[in-house]
């Protein structure tokens, strides 16, 4: 069986002392596409059942415990608002589960009690999510921090500001690598580097083409040099701001700006400004909410379509509907369904590949003991041995 053979090869190379990215890394990538890494249903999270129904491989805990495969333990700090909490949870867990490295994934969603929630969502979190204090004791190999819904003009006035700083402080000393999304990137960059995000003239909303600036970086191995990423934000951190702080910009768009950057050590902190985790209809649901706001009289003008997202047919359908609809009219069900039929996902494969590369690198440098950050011989200030001087 390929799984067992590969696991034994890994242990053989560890025994022989090959821990660098050359010999051991090359062998890993030679076999890395033979089998997917399965998710493990180690907690009764409804997302696992939904992903299994959608065709995702999810192992039962009993089956996982009888396989001789290494585990990776991934935390997901979910700061999204109630309406998007479960969808965001599912999107990131799916990305992790679609990774093609050979390991079993144990994912641990958790949130921050300081974030305002409905009682229904608090009950969901209490029933299905983990406690950060418990995760600190158990240890994690990697961490994902989602975006959040801005409630204040100043990031330091957000309810998540201080507890997020505590999570990041712990992760910097205990987790091999942390991936930050959108608003989390802006908040953490301000906390760690004093970078102030800049307000955009108007909302950046749509799907934009990006170009890789550092094609030799291990996180971008075998990635198309140009690809799309969805964005939905009112603020940005520019390439100049990243670079002045000593960070490396890896992926940038002429229109949308920086999508991906890394910390000075090239790996321990990864920053996204866009949303590669989005489902094909995520921007459509956001557009639908804006249309409902317009029909309810909250917006004076009809919302514009997300850039480069709707086909010409879909844009015309949206215009026709809005021209023939008056305020306070209900939104027919076919509005969203008809538009959804015209959508294309032009970013999902690249998102999977980047997350796969990320977790493959975590696999190579993290310690087998979850409470230890790196394996022996890995320099925390240069985990991938590629840091720029």
What residues are labeled active site?
182, 275, 277
Distance CA 298, CA 285 (A): 17
Backbone angles phi, psi at 198, to 5 degrees: -110, 135
Q: Per the structure block, which two tokens stand in for 304?
A: 């514009």
Helical spans, DSSP H, in 239-340: 239-244, 282-295, 312-323, 333-340
Give buried/exposed letters for 123-154 (b at 16+ CB in 10 A, else e). ebbeebbbebeebbeebbbbbbbbbbeeeeee
Structure tokens at 26: 């090359």
Six token digits for residue 292: 């409902």
The alpha helices in 33-74, defined as continuous H runs, are 46-53, 61-65
* 219 burial type by CB count under 10 A (0-12 exposed, 13-18 middle, 19+ buried): buried
């Amino acid at each position: 069986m390929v799984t067992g053979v590969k696991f034994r090869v890994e242990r053989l190379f560890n025994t022989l002392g090959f821990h660098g990215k050359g010999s051991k890394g090359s062998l890993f990538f030679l076999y890395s596409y033979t089998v997917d890494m399965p998710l493990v249903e180690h907690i009764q999270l409804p997302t696992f059942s939904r992903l299994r129904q959608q065709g995702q491989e999810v192992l039962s805990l009993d089956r996982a415990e009888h396989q001789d495969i290494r585990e990776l333990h991934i935390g997901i700090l979910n700061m999204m608002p109630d309406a998007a909490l479960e969808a965001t949870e599912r999107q990131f867990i799916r990305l992790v589960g679609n990774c093609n490295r050979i390991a079993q994934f144990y994912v641990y969603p958790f949130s921050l009690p300081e974030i305002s929630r409905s009682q229904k969502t608090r009950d969901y979190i209490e029933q299905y999510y983990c406690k950060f204090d418990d995760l600190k004791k158990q240890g994690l190999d990697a961490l994902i921090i989602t975006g959040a819904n801005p409630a204040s003009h100043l990031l330091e006035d957000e309810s998540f500001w201080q507890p997020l700083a505590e999570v990041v402080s712990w992760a910097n000393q205990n987790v091999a690598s942390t991936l930050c999304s959108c608003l989390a990137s802006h908040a953490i960059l301000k906390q760690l580097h004093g970078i102030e995000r800049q307000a955009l003239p108007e909302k950046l909303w749509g799907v934009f083409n990006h170009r890789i600036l550092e094609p030799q970086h291990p996180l971008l191995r075998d990635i198309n040099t140009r690809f799309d990423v969805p964005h939905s934000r009112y603020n940005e951190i520019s390439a100049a701001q990243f670079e002045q702080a000593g960070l490396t910009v890896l992926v940038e768009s002429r229109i949308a700006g920086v999508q991906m950057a890394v910390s000075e050590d090239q790996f321990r902190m990864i920053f996204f400004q866009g949303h590669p985790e989005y489902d094909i209809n995520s921007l459509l649901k956001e557009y639908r909410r804006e249309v409902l706001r317009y029909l309810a009289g909250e917006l004076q003008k009809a919302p514009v379509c997300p850039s480069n997202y709707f086909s010409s047919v879909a844009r015309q359908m949206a215009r026709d509907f809005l021209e023939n609809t008056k305020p306070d009219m209900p939104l027919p069900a076919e509005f969203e369904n008809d538009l959804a039929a015209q959508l294309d996902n032009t970013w999902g494969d690249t998102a999977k590949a980047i997350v796969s590369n990320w977790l493959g690198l975590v696999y190579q440098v993290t310690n087998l003991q979850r409470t230890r950050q790196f394996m022996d011989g890995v320099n925390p200030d240069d985990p991938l041995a590629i840091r720029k001087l």
